[in-house]
Amino acid sequence: RTFDGGENWSILPSGTYNAILGVEFPFESGLGFVCGYQGIMLSTEHFGNLWENNSLPDMVTLNRIAVTPETLVLAVGSSGSIYSYNPVSLVWTRLSPPTPDWNFRSVAFDEEGGLGLVVGTRGSIFYTTDSGNNWVSLHVADTTVDFKQVKHLPDGRFVAVSDSSLFLFDGVEFSDRFDLGFTLNDICFSAGRYIMVDDTGVVGFSTGDLSSWSRFPVASEDLNYITSYDSLVLTVGDNGTALLSSDAGRHWTPIPTGFSSELLRAFIRVTSEDTLFYAVGSEGVLISSSNLGATWGMIATGVIENFTDIAFTPEDTIWYLATTSGNIFKTTDDGVSWRRQVSHTTLPINGIVFPASVDTGFAIGNKGMILRTNFGGEWFREGIDEETAVSVPRGIEILAYPNPFNAELTISFDNPACQKIYVEVLNILGERVSVLADGVYPAGNIRLHWNATTYASGIYIIHLKTKCENVGSKILLLK
């Protein structure tokens, strides 16, 4: 703070360690606001001597802040998010489309790193054909399906795993669905056989027809993940459980790890000299074995968090760890030392991958979050993150015209199926000012009209809701 035109400055304690990106002191009364990373918004009534935390619950990065003459605070955030805050009622209102309610669980790319799939809860699947530059929704399951894993197969296909179904993709084109009648947690492919594990210690294999499986128990604990390299197959689970098969899943041998933590991911890493096993799990557990699981050792990271995934890069000494706290850790010396990356999130990260480059990686997590790094360092939200997921094609796109408009507005959209549709008009405070549709509409193009003759000039939002859609479009009324 300065009182002499910038000649001298004093540091004011803000009570936060988050980066502050925007500041606004609109009046001479001493009232001011600042905003920044993870939804931070602080207010002061005393020229900054004392700050009160009024942060956004969504933890969206807020880049700039402004205050209207009516003391309504407007904040703009990453990827087009807009919020208003009422200092009297202490209520935040989102003016841009809402956060998606799916959590991404797994991500996989082909060997070239060009084709990729992300899967998650409520039937969410997104794909990319250009190395992650653009992500598009793929509708193959309803919102009752929760995907757990996705894997890229040696024949170029992808397979996605839900509680009791498998979804096959030729490249990124959906090809088939298999409803199995039993639950499973993960799947891999080894020596011409599909191998699955479930949450009762059962493994199973199929030799090609994914509707027919041979299943048998091999452990007393839940098995969470399975991975393979040629005919070598490794699975890990609860209470430090690990099992190894050297013949593509025909026979299994328990390999005690000496740890009791829940193991969530495993990796088989083959170098010119060694075959190395890795596993990560809860309570900061990162373990490895260099003798096919006969003995395991702890890799010290200095981190006591729940690890969710591990990602190796084409450079053997550089790899990454992800956590449930939104942190990403990097080693450049093959696990000897670790450094925390700037991820700009506290949401759980459920998967991380470096598909074809030591610099370009992706991390996926809750609330439709996809993070990307282009230089192996700071991570930024991708095009279908928690702010912009509803703008990615998901079946309905609103066309409102003319925009800006004077009094008469036409709203047009293509309805993909006969369903109940609700369309309302919101003002800039998020308050409903008109209902344009509330009923069942047939499939096809739908046109609605709004006569705004009696409404004041300003910004309004057309908000459309169906069972599976929740989209919005900003309009401007000028008189």
Q: Is the pLDDT of residue 194 over 90?
A: yes
Domain residue extents for the chain:
20-94, 104-391, 399-477
Find out whether 93 and 56 touch, Cβ atoms under 8 Å. no
Confidence of residue 468 (pLDDT cuts 50, 70, 90): low
Q: Are 383 and 372 in contact (CB under 8 A)?
A: no
Going by the DSSP 8-state scheme, the letter that residue 2 receives in this structure is -
3-state SS assignment for residue 239: helix
Give tens-digit pLDDT for 297-327. 999 988 888 999 999 999 989 999 999 989 9
Residue 108 CB neighbours (<10 A) = 20
Confidence band of 63 (pLDDT split at 50, 70, 90):
confident
Angle among Cα 104, 142, 263 to the nearest 5 degrees reads 35
Highest mean pLDDT among 285-289, 374-378, 413-417: 285-289
Is the dihedral angle over the CA atoms 27, 30, 31, 33 positive or is it negative?
Answer: positive
What percentage of the chain exceeds 70 in pLDDT?
92
* Tokens at 122, concatenated: 């409520």
Instruction: Render pLDDT for 345-404 as a digit per residue (tens, 0 to 9).
Output: 888 999 999 998 898 999 999 888 888 888 887 787 765 533 333 333 335 778 888 988
Class of domain 104-391: mainly beta
Residue 100: pLDDT band by 50, 70, 90 thresholds?
low
Neighbours of 27 (CB within 10 A): 11
The verdict on domain 399-477 having CATH code 2.60.40.3080 is yes
> How far is Cα 75 from Cα 96, in angstroms, rounded to an integer?
11
The answer, yes or no, to whether residue 88 has pLDDT greater than 80, is no
Q: Is the pTM of this model over 0.85?
A: no
Rounded to whole angstroms, the Cα distance separating 414 from 397 reads: 7
Edge to edge, the sheet with strand 73-77 lists 62-67, 73-77, 82-86, 91-94
Beta pairing, strands 349-353 & 165-170: unpaired
